[in-house]
Amino acid sequence: MTYREAQAYMEQAAKRGSVLGLGPVTSLLQRLGNPQNRLKVIHVAGTNGKGSTCTFLEHLYRAEGLRVGRYISPTLFCYLERFQINGRYMEEQEFAALFSVVMTELSDMEKAGEPLPTAFEIETAIAFLYFLEQKVDLVVLETGMGGRLDATNVVEQPLCTVFTSIGMDHMQFLGDTIEQIAFEKAGIIKKGCPAVAYPNPPQVMAVLEEQFSLHNTERTNPYGFYKVEEKDIEIISETLEGSTFRYKGEEYGISMAGRYQIYNAVTAIETKLRLDGSLVKQGLLDARIAGRFEKISDAPLIIRDGAHNPDGAHALRKSVQKHFTNGKIIFIIGVLRDKEYDKMMEILCPLADKVYTITPKNERGLSGAKLRESVLPYCGDAEVCETALQALERAGRDWRRLEEQGEKAVIIAWGSLSYIGELDGGREYGTG
């Protein structure tokens, strides 16, 4: 089977949508010999910060010379970005070869009248096969959505379960209270497996601790459940190039901007130290991830951020207020229609002097015109653009005009990850 044929099948499978439940993916993996249980896995769940925390973990292990597999969703740049080993994407011929193996089992499932896996479940199985075939030392595995019924929750005994920031998102699947969502995330907890949690709100921590205690006692799991505490973190400096901080008296540096990245880094630090007690600090500095309060250009000054839910919007607001209090703010925004976009506009758009809205190239994309209506109560100067690049060109011209007038300005493109990957670079924009 060729890569193009495999992609055609996956496009059809994607039309089956998202189905929470482990039956079809479990059946497929059993047919494939359960590759997930022959890998060393750190399993990560959360609403925000999964990608960043996993990136910190990946680089901490890579700094020790290990081969680390990553399975990522959604992606910014290309389809095969979701399957990585030490930052290298899977190649088309590798995907085609593995898909041929999986396709044989899918055909047998269909003949037997079994429910077929979704596209995400098929990709999850391919990821496990790939990492096993490539003999990685470790897999840092992030959930796609939720945890309890997520396709990744088929690993019987991970090395550790990690919880990043948990907030309101995917309510149609996970529940409409923070406690219900935390319960779904907590579904990755396993007996005898340690857990580490980002400094979440008390109601989230209470659910995580309760679920952990239902699976574990001090006798069955001496490692226990560890909560990162803000009081143990001392901020030394924060810039657009990164931050330095002390954690429990030890100094660290990271190359990612944003206060929340410090907390993500500490969550990764605690995970690493609790698993093996060693840590190469350079790994934290080496860790970078696209689309998380990331500066992609100096002239014009462009930041892109994948804030796509209210908690992400609050985190971005704090970063904007920290770094750009005295300048003009130009937003480019594109979101999905199943997100709480009205709340996000309420949180962020009062900061904006100008807003450009776009429609993400996604079947769930909210139209730029509809988004503009949501922006207008908070910023009266809002304009719809046909594409992200058109918005960037216009924002770039605004930035240069303001600079010529002696005013500082910044362009911040935020919202769905399905569009901000298009803004890779930016130096060529706004010059006309």
pLDDT tens digit string along 343-389? 999 999 999 999 999 999 888 899 999 999 999 999 999 999 999 99
Residue 232: HSE in the Cβ half-sphere, 13 Å Cα cutoff: 14
- 276-284 average pLDDT score: 96
pLDDT tens digit string along 318-339? 999 999 988 999 999 999 998 8
Task: Provide the pLDDT for residue 17.
Answer: 66
Task: Provide the pLDDT for residue 431.
Answer: 31
Distance CA 123, CA 118 (A): 9
CATH T-level topology, domain 294-420:
Protein-Tyrosine Phosphatase; Chain A (3.90.190)
Q: Which residues of 371-390 are buried (b: 16+ CB within 10 A; e: fewer)?
A: bbebbeebbeebebbeebee
Q: How confident is the model at residue 175 (pLDDT cuts 50, 70, 90)?
A: low
Whether the per-residue pLDDT at 283 is higher than 50: the answer is yes
Task: Provide the pLDDT for residue 19.
Answer: 63
Return the number of other C-beta atoms located less than 10 Å from residue 126's C-beta. 24
Beta bridge partners of 6: none
**Phi first, then psi: what are they for 336, rounded to 5°?**
-90, 150
C-alpha dihedral, 329 to 334 to 263 to 250, nearest 10°: -60
Distance CA 369, CA 366 (A): 8
Q: How confident is the model at residue 430 (pLDDT cuts 50, 70, 90)?
A: very low
Distance CA 84, CA 81 (A): 6
Q: How far is CA 171 from CA 146, 175, 180, 245, 313, in A?
A: 10, 5, 9, 35, 17
Task: Provide the pLDDT for residue 60.
Answer: 98
pLDDT tens digit string along 33-51? 999 999 999 999 998 899 9
Parse the chain into domains and list their residue ranges. Answer: 3-286, 294-420
CATH of domain 3-286: 3.40.1190.10
Amino acid code (one letter) for 170: H
Residues 32, 144: contact at Cβ < 8 Å?
no
- 288-315 average pLDDT score: 91
